[in-house]
Chains A and B, each alone.
Chain A
């Protein structure tokens, strides 16, 4: 039975730093009238009937650091911002799904983020670590212990010294016992102690061997991730999402009274309908290591099943957060690859021919291919943006990375780590290098002091992460982001890249105004 904890959400939302961040925003953006109305804040040209501004949002993955994402979205929502298209990977995929599924409670004036926080407050994160008890203890120990590798080395060294001393004592006492019977007791005790140490080592080695065999039998994952799947499924079902149809219904529901700000230049390519293409959706990223592809859920569900009811949307989130080794990879078996519709879908989505369609796929964390999938929200057709694409980045790089100036002197671990990171970050980095404009919409949360795998993270640290997210969001809105600048830059980029068959009249007017 999963544990229930009860921390009031006020513990997070009424943290002094969070209240201060909201106050700073109110000081800058409030118009006369009710306090904290943030009416002067302009971040998008897309509004709904209640005056909320809409943005697209991408959230980066980062294990338990994802609590900071909730802090960030909490401030955005409090400032009157709502989300059109959402995308995320791993922890970002979790918050993306929850933002789409857990709707605002208007009666009690609770934003989606506050309701998400309620669910998080009821759940001890260590429940998600549902592997073998020994592995659970080991994970707690490794995560809590600073310089774990050094300590293990030191333990090994001490064990070696003890064993060497015992063997030396065996040899010495054995030689001396033929001269003085007094050494007989010392010798036999020493032999027995040596035997116990060797047996203990053998037992530990055997146990590790068993655990590794077990790991192999269970898809090279320490934790089955079943508790997580049950949890996310429970939240979905409580909010009326039992299948893909339900998920699409809630995540693609067009906000009531959706409109553009009056007097904003309209993209002439949109024809009579300035709202054309403005439709909410969500994208969760995962990596399939069988066909070696990036998979976008829910869009690509039809690669694996013929009917929507045959796959639960909780599986999409589970697939996206399958941190390799830490969680078992998520497998979808028995793909009906003989069906023409499935073959067509594989050809359309991934350009795979029928003979190349596998019988089963195996998903690991989307973060190994695209941890910050901002590219999925890029729409090259739009000449004048109607809303910005914002991103939340979790920056866990240590300010003093001592390997930066040691290209000639990397340890094997650092070498392999850098190799892996170069590959896994390049997909997203490449997009941002080519579309540096999107950088303007990215808020960064500095989380280098926290361990992304610390599922046993105490509540105080959870609150610190939430506060960091909230502060980063406030800084982004107060200092970093300017919608008009963003819009202008986006138009210029579009003109430079793609002007051939587009009607740029509206964009030109806007640029002229901007120059003036």
Chain B
């Protein structure tokens, strides 16, 4: 294995991540587009790099990069993605064209930080109008920049700021105070639900909106219009996600909105996402991510070794290398030589592969099929009636069930919980076998978007639907099988679902 860390990204967050890792004495390579020259001494920089392909497993990744027309191969124990936000002017959304008096936010920021230009453009009691929140929802990062511009502008003699905005995004430290400061210094905010109509005729600018209280149109002719811009995920993320075999999250960020991934995890062990790689984040938040990443890196490869126990084992005699497991593994933990190989480091033990393997060639160490069948049998022989077996994901439903018991919620006397590592490990065979010996079966998974293995709940649902078809064929009432989703703190709901099942099977 190697303790080398590959940081992917070209901007401030990537440089910060590389420098921090380097300080912690990890050999660091920084690869990506942009200004890596600011990286610290110990950091190896591969400029203008794009990730082509990643093979291997945590502790021993092989990364193929293309850099300035050349192929470069790097070994890395851990990969950290720290991309930058893409900044796009939104002038077009307001029907505006950039010019001397119509600027994007970045353009205006450049103007006010340039002493000579600022004096020239802003002298003589200028009226500056800002437009934001109509072409997009906005966020505190963008808001802070607008508020800072307004604050700066109101300090310039005689200038007046008007801000046309939808929701003011003040959900970060200090922004409400900055907002008030601007208003105290004379800035005017028009909070509108709809975009005002904006016209640009040479240097003649006009902004009009309808005031529902005054019941009239209000028109302003500013000297300068400053238009919002969007801060979005790096457009290379989809390609990068594919190369790294990690999930692409909402709005193009490289982390799904799954609480199990927080703060800096991806669906693959050993690949971490920080800063604007995972969300619209400023440098302060990126730095917090980087410190958390450091904790995870240390836990994984900190002392130069990987200590893991195999959670899933492939029977190489049974494996026919159909690669079903490779395709269904949500953690990218499976490779193959002439047979499937499960990386004990990358494997999260969900068991989706074991349940999907058409040859039954994969067994989980703690949840073998034989043990699971024994548990079903034991449940059938347990006291209490009607007999109900609940297959419970250990991350959610099992916790909820234990909580229901601890808090004395009324539960069916004949209920037996069977803990599974993930609902994705509930084989259709478990369901059918259980239904042969008990009165009702519950398959209890995590809510959509909350599965630690991303798709275990989806597999469980499919299998239940499959089981319904099979039950119909043999004439077993489908009401005896119920699929439901729960969170670990939903004791009352667990009890209700179990009691409902009891009532259903009683009636049958």
Query: Do A and B share a complex?
Result: no
The chain A residues found within 8 Å of chain B, CB to CB, are none
